[in-house]
Structure 1
Amino acid sequence: MIHSSIAGYRAFQEGWRNNRMVPEHLRRDLPVDPAPALQVRDLRVKAAFAMAPGIIKAFGMNETGLRRMAIPAYITVGAADTQTPPGPNAAFAARHIPRP
């Protein structure tokens, strides 16, 4: 995953850390550090598959970061999906990934 918005991904992590629906012991031990997600390129991985991707922007992924994806991606989603609506999620990613 490539994140061009360090602040966006950090905000995503802090949102989970501050979410009282998440058990307290998990929130306490959850590291808030976007650095490990910034450089995850593994040359063995030749393509990506995403099934009903959700909350793309909340993870800190934006147009600039998605354009940097170096491998092709297959994205599948249900047109009537109410949990991960296609427009702001799968369709957004497909518009900006170079080889969706």
Structure 2
Amino acid sequence: MEFALLFGILPLVSIGLLFIKDANKKRRIILNILLILNAIVFTLPMLAAYLSTAEGESMFNENTGGGAYLWFYMFLLPLCGFVLFVLLILKIVFAYVPKK
């Protein structure tokens, strides 16, 4: 159950971080684009599994469904989690940098 929460938390935290203020507009735009790309990359295997599944089949079945795409999460979950952590730290640090 806790592991399943990661699939919803990671994109939601990425979206939530978009609303943190930053004095530098260019830096804010770049970090927001990276957050959106991180969320999109994280959801791509689930979307691919859903779209490649035949009607009436389970998308989690590796033989007849798109379940083979879900194995990409073995690589993407730690990678996207690490990227999100780095972007979180950057957003928090830049939120407290005073304007020049």
TM-score of the two chains, using structure 1 as the length reference: 0.26
Q: Which has the higher helix share?
A: 2
Q: Which has the higher strand share?
A: 1
Q: Which has the larger radius of gyration?
A: 2
